[in-house]
Amino acid sequence: MRQAVFLDRDGTINHLVPRPDGSWASPRSLDEFKLIQGVARQVARLKSAGFLAIIATNQPDVARGVLPAQVLEAMHLELRKLAPVDGIMVCPHDDIDDCPCRKPRPGMLLQAAKRWELDLAGSFMVGDSWKDMEAARAAGVKDILINAAYNQEVTCSLRADSLESACNYILAQGR
């Protein structure tokens, strides 16, 4: 069975976007979708070590009607051009939909495990929210939180200052 590194998208792979009310949110246009510097290199490092790189992202703005599905698809086409990801798992639902794939539930990770025949116990989830960490634990995946000002209260197994430091940890564990 293969090992994977699941990567949250917003705040882990791409920058969050400031909104007029002072909050930070997911991009809602292709112009707002900007990868964090060095992400493509880190994904390539993981792949070179034999890991599959799989994005697992909640995208409730689709259900809320503020992100057209075609724009989301354009973002993911751009992501695939810039970084060598193996797959992109998306939950386009909102909390009210009670979807089993919406993080913090493990549905996306479990679907990916079935699709790619993954060893979940030997896999990792890197994200920036409590939902990412809960989904990882529920699926039996090792959880790594990218440290940010907004997630200091989140419980996790490991905190990393960047995707690069998370990848350094993962690669040091060996396969």
Report the CATH number that the domain containing residue 167 is assigned in CATH: 3.40.50.1000
How large is the average pLDDT for residues 11-33? 94
Domain count, the chain: 1
Looking at the predicted structure, is the pLDDT value of residue 114 above 90?
Answer: yes
Task: Choose the catalytic residue: 10, 61, 86, 143.
Answer: 10
DSSP E strands in the chain: the ranges are: 4-7, 17-18, 24-25, 52-58, 87-91, 124-127, 142-146, 158-160
Whether residue 161 lies in the annotated active site = no
How confident is residue 174, by pLDDT bands cut at 50, 70 and 90? low
Residue 78's pLDDT is what? Answer: 97
Residue 98's pLDDT is what? Answer: 93
Residue 75's pLDDT is what? Answer: 98
How large is the average pLDDT for residues 21-44? 95
Per the prediction, the chain carries an average pLDDT of: 96
Q: Which domain holds residue 92?
A: 4-172
Phi-psi region of 39 (alpha: psi -120 to 50; beta: other; left: phi over 0): alpha
Predicted structure pTM score: 0.96
Task: Choose the catalytic residue: 8, 61, 86, 132.
Answer: 8
